[in-house]
Amino acid sequence: MTEIPDDVRELATRLFDMARNGDEALLEYIDQGVNPDLTNQDGNSLLMLAAYSGHENLVGALAQRGADVDKQNDRRQTPLAGAVFKKYGAVVEKLVDAGADPHAGAPSALETARYFQLDDMLARLGAEG
Which of 68, 53, 58, 67 shows the shortest CA–CA distance to 26?
58
Is 117 a residue whose pLDDT tops 90?
A: yes
Q: Per-residue pLDDT tens for 9-36?
A: 999 999 999 999 999 999 999 999 999 9
Domain that holds residue 22: 6-124
Report pLDDT for 3: 86
Cβ atoms of 63 and 95 within 8 Å: the answer is: yes
83 located within any domain: yes
Domain CATH for 58 = 1.25.40.20
87 located within any domain: yes
- Residue 64 Cα distances to 56, 116, 123, angstroms: 12, 30, 24
129 located within any domain: no
69 located within any domain: yes
3-state secondary structure of 60: helix
Q: Per-residue pLDDT tens for 63-92?
A: 999 999 999 999 999 999 999 999 999 999
Cβ atoms of 61 and 53 within 8 Å: the answer is: no
55 located within any domain: yes
- Residue 65 Cα distances to 34, 79, 101, angstroms: 11, 16, 18
- Mean pLDDT, residues 52-61 taken together: 98
1 located within any domain: no
What is the sign of the dihedral through the CA atoms of 79, 85, 90 and 93? positive
CA gap 3, 25 in Å, rounded = 27
Instruction: Provide the terminal-to-terminal Cα distance of the chain, rounded to the nearest Å.
Output: 46
What's the structural domain count of the chain? 1
Q: Which of 1-5, 21-25, 101-105 has the lowest mean pLDDT?
A: 1-5
